[in-house]
C-alpha cells in the first residue's frame, strides 16, 4: 500500500439557523452483559447497528445489532475491540488493541475490516468509516487516511496540528475533525475542498458520520446555566439541529444512514453510558378534501382527495393508495403527491402511506369518505284519514316521513294541522337525509267540512190542523242541502208518529212521500178521537252530508180537541 498527501483550500460555514424536528423517537441501545457502558457508533440502510461495550471485568467488546439480536464481535487475540462503521454490505470497520486498552499504558491500536466473517488488519491506528464502494477512512497518527482499492491517501487539513477522519459516504464526501491554534473544529472534504464546520455558539465541534444526502452528525460542547454539556447535532442543508436525549447531560451523535436514522451514545446518571437509536421521523402523508363532510360525516357531491407526502430526510419515492368499500381499487403513485376522486355512493375507506427514497414507509393512515348524492323520498300522511267520500269533518294533521337508502333520513318537516273548512286544502313538506340532500315536496290534499247539512221545509211551530174533518192535509215539503261537501245520496229521511191510534186502520193518518226533487211531502190527517187534548203528530227529519255530518230537525202538528184548545 502507498500513501499520498492531500492538500486543499478551507472554506468556513458561517452563521446557521437552529431548528427542531418533530416525531423524533429515541430508543436505548444497551448490549447484554454490558457493565460499564454501551456506545452505538454506526448504522447502515438495513438498520444494522455496530458499537462497543465494556463488561464487568473492564474488557471492551464490539457488537452487531441486527433485527433485535446482539452479536459480540471480538478481534482474535485482542484485549479490546471497537466496531465503529458499517456499510450496506455488512462490512464493518473499527479498531483493536492486542495488549492494552489504556492509551496511557502502552495501547497500540490497529484498524480492522470485518467482511464475510473474516478480519483484515488495516495497520493504521483506527478505521472509522466505510461506504458501499468499500472506501475506508480513519486515523493515521496526526493525520487521517482514505483507503481506496488498496491505496492510502493521507488527509490533512491545511494549518492543522491534528486531523482525523470519521465518516465517508458513497459520493466520497468525508467528515472529521481537526485541531489548530484556534481550537477544535469539524470539517467536510468534498471534491478536494475543505469546509470548516463549527456549531454556532459551541466549542469542540466534531462530526462523526455523513450519509449520501450530505447530512452530517456529530457532537459539540456548550455552556449553559447548568454547566458545560455535550450535545449531538445534525447538519442538514446548512441548518443545525441539536440532538439531546431527554434528561441526559451528554449526547453524542455518531452515525447516520440514508433513512434518517441516527445512532450514538448518551450518559444516564443511573446506568452510565448507553447507546441510542434516533429515528427522525418516517415519511408523513397529509390528506385534504375538496369538500369537507357535514356534521353528520357525509358529503352530497363527489369528493377529491389530495395527498401530499413529506420526508425530512431522503425525499418521497411514492404514495400507495388502497380503496375499499363502495369504491375499490389500488394505485401506486410516483412522487410526493397524488389525487383521486370518490364518485361512488356509499362508504369508501381510503388507506394510504408514503415510501421514501430509502425504502422507509410510514404507518398506513385511513380516511373514510361517505358519499350520498341521491335525494330521499318524502311521504305525507293525513290523520285522521278521509272517509270513503274523501272528506273529513274534524281538524286534520299532516305528518311527513321519508325513506333513504344512502345516508338515512336526518329530519322531515314537522306536522302541519289544518283547522279550517274547505275543499282541496293542502299541506306540503320535505325530508332531508344525513348528507344534506332534500327530497321533492310531498303534499297531502285534504277536504274538511264540519258543518251539518241544512234541512228545510219542516212545519212551523204553530202547526194546527183544523177543522178535524178527516181530510189529508199537506203540512210540509221537506228538503235538505249541504253547501260544502254535498248531501250524501239517500241520506234525507223523514218520519212521523201520532199520539193517537189511526182512526181508520185501512187509511193511514200520516203520509210521507218523495216529491221527485229529492225531498219529501208530508201529509197528516185532520182527525182526532175526541178525548184528551187532541191528537199530536211528531215529525223527525235527518240528513247527512258527504263528510259525515248529520242534521236532525223535529216538529209537531196538533189536531186540537176543540178550537178553544
Mean pLDDT (whole number) for 451-467: 95
In contact, 123 and 168? CB cutoff 8 Å? no
Place of cell 491505496: 151
**pLDDT for residue 107:** 62
Residue where a domain terminates, one of 279, 307, 331: 279
Within-domain flag for 5 = no
Residue 26 sits in the same domain as residue 103: yes
Q: What is the CA radius of gyration of the chain?
A: 53
pLDDT digits (tens, 9 = 90+) for 156-203: 999 999 999 999 999 999 999 999 999 899 999 999 999 999 999 888
**CATH number of the domain encompassing residue 76:** 2.120.10.30
Within-domain flag for 102 = yes
Residue 204 sits in the same domain as residue 296: no
Closest CA to 96 of 86, 84, 110, 116: 110
In contact, 49 and 92? CB cutoff 8 Å? no
Residues in the chain: 565
Within-domain flag for 548 = yes
Spatial distance between the Cα atoms of 187 and 205, rounded to a whole number of angstroms: 9
Mean pLDDT (whole number) for 484-510: 92
Within-domain flag for 2 = no
In contact, 551 and 487? CB cutoff 8 Å? no
**476 in helix, strand or coil?**
strand
**pLDDT for residue 283:** 87
Closest CA to 458 of 494, 491, 489: 494
Closest CA to 254 of 498, 40, 535, 478: 40
pTM, full prediction: 0.61
Residue 108 sits in the same domain as residue 251: yes
Residue 421 sits in the same domain as residue 465: no
Residue where a domain terminates, one of 252, 279, 306: 279
Residue 314 sits in the same domain as residue 415: no
Residue 260 sits in the same domain as residue 223: yes
Spatial distance between the Cα atoms of 549 and 125, rounded to a whole number of angstroms: 118
Within-domain flag for 565 = no
pLDDT digits (tens, 9 = 90+) for 241-262: 899 888 889 999 999 998 888 9
Closest CA to 172 of 143, 198, 138, 133: 133
Torsion over CA: 173, 216, 354, 369 (sign) = negative
Residue 465 sits in the same domain as residue 504: yes
**342 in helix, strand or coil?**
strand
Closest CA to 233 of 221, 224, 249, 225: 221
Residue 404 sits in the same domain as residue 508: no
Cis previous bond, 131, omega within 30: no
Within-domain flag for 536 = yes
Residue percentage of the chain with pLDDT more than 70:
93
pLDDT digits (tens, 9 = 90+) for 270-298: 878 899 998 877 789 999 999 999 999 99
Residue 349 sits in the same domain as residue 316: yes
Band of pLDDT at residue 44, cut at 50, 70 and 90:
very high
Within-domain flag for 495 = yes
Q: How many domains does the chain have?
A: 4
Phi, psi of 243 (to 5 degrees): -120, 110
Residue 393 sits in the same domain as residue 423: yes
Domain of residue 419, residue span: 377-448
Residue 466 sits in the same domain as residue 356: no
pLDDT digits (tens, 9 = 90+) for 520-552: 999 999 998 866 778 999 999 999 999 999 999
Residue 441 sits in the same domain as residue 485: no
Residue where a domain terminates, one of 318, 352, 371: 371
Spatial distance between the Cα atoms of 207 and 136, rounded to a whole number of angstroms: 16
pLDDT at residue 268 greater than cutoff 90: no
Within-domain flag for 1 = no
**CATH number of the domain encompassing residue 294:** 2.60.40.10
Cis previous bond, 467, omega within 30: yes
Give bridge partners of residue 197 from the DSSP assignment.
Answer: 186
Alpha helices in 187-233 (DSSP H): none
**CATH number of the domain encompassing residue 518:** 2.60.40
- Strand locations in 245-376 (E): 251-256, 261-268, 272-279, 284-289, 303-310, 316-325, 329-334, 337-342, 346-356, 365-371
Amino acid at each position: 500500500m502507498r500513501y499520498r498527501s492531500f492538500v486543499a483550500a478551507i472554506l468556513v460555514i458561517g452563521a446557521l439557523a437552529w431548528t427542531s424536528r418533530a416525531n423524533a423517537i429515541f430508543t436505548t441501545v444497551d448490549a447484554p452483559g454490558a457493565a460499564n457502558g454501551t456506545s452505538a457508533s454506526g448504522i447502515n440502510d438495513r438498520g444494522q447497528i455496530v458499537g462497543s461495550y465494556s463488561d464487568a471485568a473492564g474488557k471492551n467488546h464490539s457488537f452487531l445489532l441486527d433485527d433485535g439480536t446482539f452479536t459480540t464481535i471480538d478481534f482474535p487475540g485482542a484485549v479490546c475491540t471497537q466496531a465503529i462503521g458499517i456499510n450496506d454490505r455488512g462490512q464493518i470497520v473499527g479498531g483493536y488493541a492486542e495488549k492494552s486498552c489504556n492509551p496511557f499504558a502502552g495501547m497500540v491500536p490497529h484498524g480492522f475490516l470485518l467482511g464475510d466473517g473474516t478480519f483484515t488488519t488495516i495497520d493504521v491506528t483506527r478505521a472509522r468509516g466505510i461506504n458501499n464502494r468499500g472506501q475506508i477512512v480513519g486515523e493515521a497518527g496526526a493525520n487521517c487516511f482514505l483507503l481506496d482499492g488498496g491505496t492510502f491517501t493521507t488527509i490533512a487539513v491545511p494549518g492543522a496540528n491534528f486531523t482525523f477522519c470519521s465518516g465517508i459516504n458513497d459520493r466520497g464526501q468525508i467528515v472529521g475533525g481537526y485541531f489548530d491554534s484556534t481550537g477544535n473544529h469539524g470539517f467536510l472534504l468534498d471534491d478536494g475542498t475543505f469546509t470548516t464546520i463549527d456549531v454556532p455558539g459551541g466549542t469542540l465541534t466534531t462530526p462523526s458520520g455523513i450519509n449520501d444526502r450530505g447530512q452530517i452528525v456529530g457532537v459539540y460542547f456548550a455552556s449553559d446555566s447548568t454547566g458545560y454539556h455535550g450535545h449531538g447535532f445534525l447538519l442538514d442543508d446548512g441548518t443545525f439541529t441539536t440532538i439531546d436525549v431527554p434528561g441526559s447531560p451528554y449526547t453524542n451523535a455518531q452515525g447516520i444512514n440514508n433513512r434518517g436514522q441516527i445512532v450514538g451514545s448518551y450518559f444516564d446518571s443511573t446506568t452510565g453510558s448507553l447507546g441510542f437509536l434516533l429515528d427522525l421521523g418516517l415519511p408523513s402523508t397529509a390528506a385534504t378534501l375538496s369538500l369537507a363532510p357535514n356534521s353528520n360525516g357525509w358529503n352530497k357531491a363527489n369528493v377529491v382527495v389530495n395527498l401530499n407526502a413529506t420526508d425530512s430526510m431522503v425525499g418521497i419515492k411514492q404514495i400507495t393508495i388502497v380503496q375499499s368499500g363502495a369504491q375499490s381499487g389500488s394505485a401506486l403513485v410516483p412522487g410526493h403527491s397524488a389525487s383521486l376522486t370518490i364518485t361512488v355512493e356509499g362508504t369508501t375507506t381510503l388507506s394510504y402511506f408514503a415510501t421514501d427514497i430509502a425504502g422507509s414507509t410510514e404507518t398506513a393512515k385511513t380516511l373514510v369518505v361517505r358519499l350520498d348524492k341521491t335525494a330521499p323520498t318524502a311521504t305525507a300522511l293525513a290523520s285522521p284519514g278521509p272517509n270513503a267520500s274523501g272528506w273529513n269533518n274534524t281538524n286534520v294533521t299532516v305528518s311527513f316521513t321519508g325513506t333513504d337508502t344512502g345516508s338515512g333520513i336526518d329530519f322531515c318537516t314537522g306536522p302541519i294541522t289544518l283547522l279550517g273548512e274547505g275543499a282541496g286544502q293542502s299541506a306540503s313538506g320535505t325530508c332531508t337525509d344525513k348528507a344534506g340532500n332534500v327530497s321533492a315536496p310531498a303534499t297531502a290534499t285534504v277536504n274538511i267540512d264540519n258543518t251539518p247539512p241544512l234541512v228545510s221545509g219542516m212545519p212551523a211551530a204553530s202547526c194546527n190542523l183544523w177543522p178535524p174533518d178527516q181530510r189529508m192535509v199537506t203540512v210540509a215539503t221537506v228538503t235538505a242541502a249541504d253547501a260544502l261537501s254535498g248531501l250524501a245520496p239517500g241520506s234525507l229521511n223523514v218520519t212521523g208518529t201520532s199520539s193517537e191510534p189511526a182512526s181508520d186502520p185501512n187509511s193511514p193518518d200520516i203520509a210521507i212521500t218523495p216529491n221527485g226533487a229529492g225531498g219529501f211531502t208530508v201529509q197528516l190527517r185532520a182527525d182526532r178521537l175526541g178525548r184528551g187534548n187532541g191528537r199530536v203528530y211528531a215529525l223527525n227529519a235527518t240528513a247527512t252530508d258527504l263528510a259525515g255530518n248529520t242534521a236532525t230537525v223535529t216538529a209537531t202538528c196538533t189536531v186540537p180537541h176543540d178550537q178553544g184548545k
